[in-house]
Structure 1
Amino acid sequence: MPTNEEIELKTIQPTAELSSFVESFWMITNPTDKDRQIVILPDGRIDIIFSLTDKINFKTTLRGIDTEPQQASIPANSIFFAISFNLLAIEYVLPEKVYSIVNGGVNLPSAFWDITNKDLYDFKQFTEKVSRKMLSLIKPDIDNRKQELFELIYSSNGTLSVKELSEKVFWSSRQINRYFNQTIGISLKAYCNIFRFKSSLHHIKQGKLFPELNFTDQNHFIKEVKKMSGVTPKELSKNENSKFILLSALP
């Protein structure tokens, strides 16, 4: 999905075997000679990002959960291929703990998962290669209670309360919050708020500037959107210069 100034965005969905662990694969390229300023919005995902700049500078980064908007740039002459993970991947696929990198990231070793700069020229082949690698890494004996909890958060767009989620999965609120803080780095409620905001972006992009996902009222909706994006729903919907890259990528 091209945006202005020749920035290109593409996404590919995972296979059914990986869908519990991977939300999507995505690609951003900036073939121009100018850096592109963007804002990264909280979306409830953990990312592994493989980047190549000027055809020589290759690195791999694991990025944790974002709780606030982040100013960033897409460097000139750069390619980014990435994997966005669902929460279940934290314990069963990812090599590093993410609780300590909220609003940040860490560099991963060279040739992580056997990916090199040569793999960043064919997006489809990249997704197939990392998919095979991840399938070989998935740990057995998945906790069904955690899997059900995460699926409830996603299917409800983050609108269920901690109490409702706790009752549905027969897991105490206190234990769930301890798990979230020790594993993900934020509370369950904070995560649900992030996911509800992300789910609201579809409505905001369509110009629906009123709450549709269990916000208390209009003021609460505006306050949450400003907290997550730094701007009002109206300003976010305009997305001037396509700087809110997550909004630009939505269909």
Structure 2
Amino acid sequence: MFRIYDPFEIKPASQMSPNFHYKFVAPDPEIAPFVENIGMFHNPSDTAKEIVLMPDGRVDLFFMQSASEPFKVILIGLETIPEQREIPPHTLAFKVSFKPLATEYILQTSIADIFNSGKLLPEGFWDIDADDLTDFDAFHKKITQKITALLPAETDERKRLLFELIYASNGEMTVAELSEKVAWGSRQINRYFNMQFGLSLNAFCKILRFRASLQHIAKGRLFPELNFSDQNHFIKEIKKFSGAVPGELFKNKDDRFILLSVLKQQ
């Protein structure tokens, strides 16, 4: 049976409205190379919440249930297009947002087959069930222990350095520059990206540049601060990934863009 969840039990760090709650916490340092954050969202109301999900370069693992849907585990791959969704009434979800490298070393699977999509995972995945959705702190501890147990003894140094450089530059380094710095051929890098993640390195870098631009837009800076050729190029790229122009994103009517709501409060 679905449990009616009391949002005040988790003391959410922020909330977009009295009828929609969310919370995101940074991972423990030991798992930080593979995890961006651990979080939750909850729609306790009797109406659906309309949101727009934008590409952010993360791979999301959801544990969720609602009044109309049983507990399920969903893995969402990398995305390059915005998607409008509805969060059903009385929906509760805990999630782990992974960095892409985690798919190989923690999840131990390719996600190329779920590019711009997702898939249901088997019942009992990682020994998480509906009972674990009653206490966020306990979930955070349990999932951290699970990921820690799965940490690899070693990783490919080229891949580790590659992602370190991509994140440090907000995706603004060229494929040629990255290839030279990690001593790994650009063809081999793109083959790895396409086989493991379902997109090219260049496409992934553009997503990170878009995500970094959202931090500026959230603060009302509606002009390019990264490597865009001009204002028109900036607006075109922002609209491609979000479905909206920078001004519309900043206004964030009805808090539809969750990522913007989070960034505005940071």
TM-score by length of 1: 0.97
Deviations 1:16-36 (A, max 9, x none): 110000010111100101010
Q: What stretches of structure 1 of length at least 5 have no aligned partner?
A: none
Deviations 1:226-247 (A, max 9, x none): 1001111111111100001111
Q: Find the counterpart in structure 2 of residue 227 from structure 1.
A: 240
Specify which of 172, 175, 182 is matched with residue 185 of structure 2: 172
Give secondary structure in 2 for the equivalent of 1:20. coil
The separation in 2 between residues aligned to 1:174 and 1:138, in whole angstroms, is: 28
Query: What is the Cα deviation at residue 140 of structure 1?
Result: 2.6
Runs of 4+ residues over 2 Å off in structure 1: 138-141
C-alpha root-mean-square deviation of aligned residues, in Å? 1.2
Query: What is the Cα deviation at residue 3 of structure 1?
Result: 0.5
Amino acid at match of 2:16: T
The separation in 1 between residues aligned to 2:99 and 2:108, in whole angstroms, is: 14
Query: What is the Cα deviation at residue 215 of structure 1?
Result: 1.2
Q: Find the counterpart in structure 1 of residue 90 from structure 2.
A: 77
Give secondary structure in 1 for the equivalent of 2:24. strand
Query: What is the Cα deviation at residue 96 of structure 1?
Result: 3.2
Is 2:158 the partner of 1:145? yes
TM-score by length of 2: 0.92
Q: Find the counterpart in structure 1 of residue 62 from structure 2.
A: 49
The separation in 2 between residues aligned to 1:153 and 1:234, in whole angstroms, is: 27
Query: What is the Cα deviation at residue 167 of structure 1?
Result: 1.2
The separation in 2 between residues aligned to 1:131 and 1:213, in whole angstroms, is: 34
The separation in 2 between residues aligned to 1:185 and 1:171, in whole angstroms, is: 19
Query: What is the Cα deviation at residue 71 of structure 1?
Result: 1.1
How many residue pairs were aligned?
251
Q: Kindly, what percent of the aligned residue pairs are identical?
A: 49
Q: Find the counterpart in structure 2 of residue 210 from structure 1.
A: 223
Q: Find the counterpart in structure 2 of residue 37 from structure 1.
A: 50
Deviations 1:88-130 (A, max 9, x none): 2011001432011011001011121011111112112111101
Specify which of 38, 51, 55 is matched with residue 25 of structure 1: 38
Trace 1:177-196 onto structure 2 (pairs within 5 A). Answer: 177-196=190-209
The separation in 2 between residues aligned to 1:165 and 1:16, in whole angstroms, is: 25
